[in-house]
Amino acid sequence: MALRFLGNEASTHLAHFELERGNVDEALAALIDVLRFNRRRALKESAINAVDAYVHAACLRSKIEVASRLHAFVTAYRDESKLRRSPFGERTYREIVAHYRVPLDPDPRLNDLDQALALALTI
């Protein structure tokens, strides 16, 4: 289990790296593996980290409405659960959201992680 978890984290980091390079397809392929693993193991922290990457992917694909809904969900989830990003991750995430002018008050809102992941798969 520990090795698979590390592989899962590595896939999330790979997705962020590919997004920084503009390789959305490669990032989404890595994130699919993350989602499959998370659904089997119910690892919410890892899934939330993947949603951060999906916000970036949606921005790169000019799907700002999708990015907005995911951004609102992940922000609320992190606030409620006290789940914080690393300082580097927080700075990077804020830069992406500001650069693409992603609004925080979408309609309709996502109610749970399953809805967020289902929406993420539309990117």
Note the pLDDT tens digit of each residue in 102-120.
998 877 889 999 899 999 9
Give pTM, 2 decimals.
0.85
Domain boundaries, the chain: 2-120
Note the pLDDT tens digit of each residue in 18-73.
999 999 999 999 998 888 777 666 678 888 999 999 999 999 999 999 999 999 99
Give alpha helix (H) positions in 21-112: 24-41, 44-60, 64-81, 87-99
The pair of three-digit structure tokens given for residue 41, joined into one six-digit string? 């193991």
The pair of three-digit structure tokens given for residue 50, joined into one six-digit string? 């993947």
